[in-house]
Chain A
């Protein structure tokens, strides 16, 4: 049984292995510090009663200039001149636990937390930077992520109303 929960001091991050060095190093060296500073909020996956981290991601708040995401965002937030979003960073799974559904479990957890954030403070979308083109296609086909209107091709987002519709339809 895998559980996803907020990062705590007792979680063991030192042995986290990931095929992406940046994601691995962030977990080992920066995640706890940034979490304590409230720069981001980190959520980790653990197996059973273990506190060994086998996957993680973080969320933080962000905003984008008008014209960056899509026309719907510009129409909706034109009066405040910026589009609020929740940013998903560093989603990664331990190499020994790859292809077991943990990535999807982390994404599910993130989507539900975005809905909670939106209920409290409002937001337009969940945004992330995909590591490469293959992941852009994966996130688009699996979850319906959209490319930024003015982005580098790796910047993608999923509108909150789409997430809400998936929960309620």
Chain B
């Protein structure tokens, strides 16, 4: 959307808001706490008990 607006040279203010919003959303998605080593081990090893 932001790219289209930029190409057409329309609504520069909206374009800036869209890009900022999009970057914030991407950062949020990538910003989850890193898994603990134990969680990684638990999910990557085959299920086992006993």
A107 touches B35 (CB 8 A): no
Give how many B residues have a beta carbon under 8 Å from the other chain's beta carbons: 20
The residues in A between 143 and 169 inclusive whose CB is less than 8 angstroms from any CB of B are 143-144, 146, 159-163, 165-167, 169
Give how many A residues have a beta carbon under 8 Å from the other chain's beta carbons: 32
Chain B residues within 8 Å of A134, by CB: none
B31 touches A143 (CB 8 A): no
Q: Tell me which of B25, B28, B39, B48 contacts A162 (CB under 8 A).
A: B39
B44 touches A101 (CB 8 A): no
Chain A residues within 8 Å of B49, by CB: 2, 45, 100-102, 104-105
In the complex, A108 has a CB within 8 A of chain B = yes
Task: Give CA–CA (A49, B42) in the complex, Å.
Answer: 24
Task: Give CA–CA (A141, B37) in the complex, Å.
Answer: 10
In the complex, A34 has a CB within 8 A of chain B = no
Task: Give CA–CA (A146, B34) in the complex, Å.
Answer: 12
Task: Give CA–CA (A163, B38) in the complex, Å.
Answer: 12
Apart from A101-B50, A169-B40: 10 A-B pairs, beta carbons within 8 A? A47-B50, A75-B24, A101-B49, A104-B49, A142-B38, A143-B39, A163-B39, A166-B40, A166-B43, A166-B44
